[in-house]
Structure 1
Amino acid sequence: MPITDPRLEQTDKSFWHGFTEFYDTHLPLKIEGKILEFGVFKGNSIRWLLAKFPEAMIHGADILPIQSEWPIDARVTYHMVDQDDETQVKSLLEHVGRGLQLVIEDGSHFPRHQSRCLRLGLDALEPGGTYVLEDIQTSHPAHSQYADEFGTALGQTSLSVLLAFEHLKRRGEALSQSTLATLGGGTHFTDVDIAKLFAQIASIDVYKRATLPSKCWKCGSSDYDYHSYRCGCGVDLIDEADSMSVVIRKA
């Protein structure tokens, strides 16, 4: 469903990343169960979900308490959760309970948090459900949040693991012991985690924006210097590690 409410255009899923058109193709057309989104921010993505899935019950999780700008609706429940605390993430998923058909991870963007929510969230997702890991570019070695966690070393992240899975599945290959040894044994996933994730995933679709955003996330303008790929306010418009999302279908 295309965005028709001007308020929904305020979500960076649309104006900066360009995720929403990708999601129109890859997300379920209808959800009658539950949706969980990590990261509420200003609430615009909750508004987008309310419009896109009018029969779903939506859970928004954030490290902040409920903010005045967040939408209030009978179909929305908010939860205060720290993604750095595994117990809190587990408790949230247990509280949401059965019927979870869509998880969108758009929270802190810290690589370790992305991996934790993937590992726990995919377990909680119903068979055939959809898991979306947004802004996964922060798990790319060129991104500052990757450097904050790993420094100059190469580390195991959701991005490296999921790209490997997509490569294997596209080629019709199983997860061999040698590949398992290469992917496993890191700080985010054990060998057991890797094998379980691979078995749980039916398909992976990857998006990376290759065009200029509609407007700047920082200043809100489209006053661009097209030759330098920068906004007039100085923000880079196309980075090596920018605007990536992964849509996973659970087996």
Structure 2
Amino acid sequence: MNTSPISDKIFWHKYINFYEELLPKEAKNVLEIGVFKGDSIRYWRERYPSANIFGLDIVEEIPSWPKDNHIKYFQADQSDAAGYHSILKSIGSQIDVLIEDGSHDPLHQKISLIESLPYLKEDAIYILEDLHTAHPHHSYYKTRVKQFQGTSFSFSKKPENVFMPLQCLLLIEHLKTNGRTPSEVKNTIDFKNSLFTYEEVELLFNKIKTLKFYRRNVLPDFCFSCNTNNFDFINLRCNCGEDLYLQPDSMSVVLTF
């Protein structure tokens, strides 16, 4: 039976309770990258009824997306840094809450994070959803490595050694927790095999105040593929074949600037 809640943030990833503990009580400007069916825009509208809500997606605005005088949509490709800059500039105000839930391509995650920095308000919250796609066991990670081979990115080592958003943010959290600085580990990372330059790591280290990581450690309520809870509890799969408990799944990080 199809009884799944509206958003996979709730029934699959179970992000929402984690977010609620960290989100500000009020926000004037909220931007979500990745609109999809519009469910998250509805959530942010309910969460912040007087805020300006901005949605950015690679597809044109869809009639079924929620609309009112305080919701505005932009069409853009996450890989286009200049276009993204232009959109953020056109908003005209700094962002209080930014949710990156777009293509989930590790390179796009990196571009959005770095390019958003000038437009984030003091104490802004930046949520990078589905960070697990930068895990070495995830297909997106492996695909990105293959796509970069033979380009200006010199991925000369095996995929496990490539430095992507998950690795970068875990490193920054580790350094801050242990009172260390990026310069202490600079020579341990091959930045020729990295989506980030050393200067970008330093920039993030200096800008980010706190990092809170989330990883789902229980089964989802419903399957996102078939929207049922007909689960095989022995093999941790849905009866439709979808894996329910993979290592690289349902990871998110909340950054405070």
Q: Could you tell me how far 1:98 is from its partner in structure 2?
A: 2.2
Q: Take 1:81 and 1:181, find their aligned partners in 2: how far apart are those partners? A: 36
Tell me the CA shift for residue 120 of structure 1: 1.1
Q: Which residue of 2 aligns with 1:4?
A: none
Distance 1:90 1:181 in 2: 32
- Match of 2:123, SS state, is coil
Residue identity in the other structure for 2:191? G
> Aligned to 1:150, which of 145, 150, 164?
145
* 2: CA distance, partners of 1:65 / 1:140: 30
Aligned partner of residue 201 in structure 2, secondary structure: helix
Contact 2:182 2:202 in 1 (8 A): no
Q: Does 1:174 align with 2:180?
A: yes
TM alignment of 1:41-60, pairs within 5 A: 41-60=36-55
The reply on whether 1:86 has 2:92 as its aligned counterpart is no
C-alpha contact 1:106 1:133 (8 A) present in aligned 2: yes
CA distance in 2, matches of 1:193, 1:182: 16
Determine if contact 1:122/1:131 at 8 Å carries over to the other structure: no
Q: Deviations over 1:94-152 (max 9, x none)?
A: 11232311110000000000000011113310111110000010011010000001145
User: What RMSD, in angstroms, separates the aligned Cα atoms of the two structures?
Assistant: 1.6
- Name which of 55, 58, 65 aligns with 1:63: 58
CA displacement 1:10-59 (0-9 Å, x = unmatched): 1111111000000111111221x211110000000000000011121011
Q: Percent identity?
A: 37
Q: Distance in 2 between matches of 1:99 and 1:193?
A: 21
Structure 1 segment 25-174 matched on structure 2, within 5 A: 25-31=21-27, 33-151=28-146, 152-153=158-159, 154-171=161-178, 173-174=179-180
- Note if 1:17 corresponds to 2:13: yes
The answer for the alignment partner of 1:216 in structure 2 is 223
- Matched with 2:199 is 192
Mean Cα displacement is larger for which, 228-237 or 116-125? 116-125
Is there any run of 5+ residues in structure 2 with no aligned partner, and where?
A: 147-157
Cα distance in structure 1, aligned partners of 2:187 and 2:122: 27
| TM-score, with length taken from structure 2 | 0.90
Alignment CA distance shift 1:73-1:184 (3 Å):
farther
What residue identity is the alignment partner of 1:89?
Answer: Y
After TM superposition, give the deviation of residue 87 of structure 1 in Å.
1.1
- Deviation of 1:176 after TM superposition, in Å, equals 4.0
1:193 shift after superposition: 1.0
Q: Which amino acid aligns with 1:233?
A: C
How far, CA to CA, are the matches of 2:188 and 2:93 in structure 1?
A: 34
The 4+ residue runs of structure 1 with deviation greater than 6 A are none
Q: Measure, in 2, the Cα distance between the counterparts of 1:191 and 1:200.
A: 14
2:20 alignment partner AA? D
SS in 2 for 1:65: coil
> Alignment length, in residue pairs?
242
Q: 1:181 to 1:19 in 2, by over 3 A?
A: same
Larger mean Cα displacement after TM superposition, 180-189 or 112-121: 180-189
> Residue 159 of structure 1 aligns to a residue in which SS?
helix
Q: Under a length normalisation based on structure 1, what TM-score does the superposition of the two structures give?
A: 0.92
CA distance in 2, matches of 1:183, 1:56: 41
Secondary structure of residue in 2 paired with 1:117: helix
Distance in 2, Cα, partners of 1:108 & 1:137: 13
- For structure 1, which runs of at least 5 residues remain unmatched after alignment? 1-6
Distance across 2 between alignment mates of 1:183 and 1:29: 39
